Amino acid sequence: MIFNNIRNLREDNDKTQRELAHYLNVTQTTYSKYELGKINIPIDVFIKLADYYGVTVDYLLGRTPNKSGTEDSRTKRASSNILKH
């Protein structure tokens, strides 16, 4: 599975794969394979990346478009309507 948010965050922050690999204590090749979805990313790496960028793991996984993890008003309304029924 390719995680576009991981690559986009790296590029948006003007970081190289080598810099992130060093931070994560992996090789640049391993980091590249993470971005390309060629190998699974361990959960501890997801957590480190989320902490590094100040985003949620759900954002890195593409489960939410919100970097902070807060729901937008549409999601809150939809959830509220579901709970009422």
Domains and CATH numbers, the chain: 4-84 (1.10.260.40)
Mean pLDDT of 50-55: 97
- Burial (CB count <10 Å: 0-12, 13-18, 19+), residue 49: buried
Q: Would you say residue 80 has pLDDT above 70?
A: no
Would you give the end-to-end CA distance of the chain in angstroms? Answer: 36
pLDDT of residue 68: 83
- Burial (CB count <10 Å: 0-12, 13-18, 19+), residue 41: buried
pLDDT of residue 73: 46
More confident residue, 68 or 36: 36
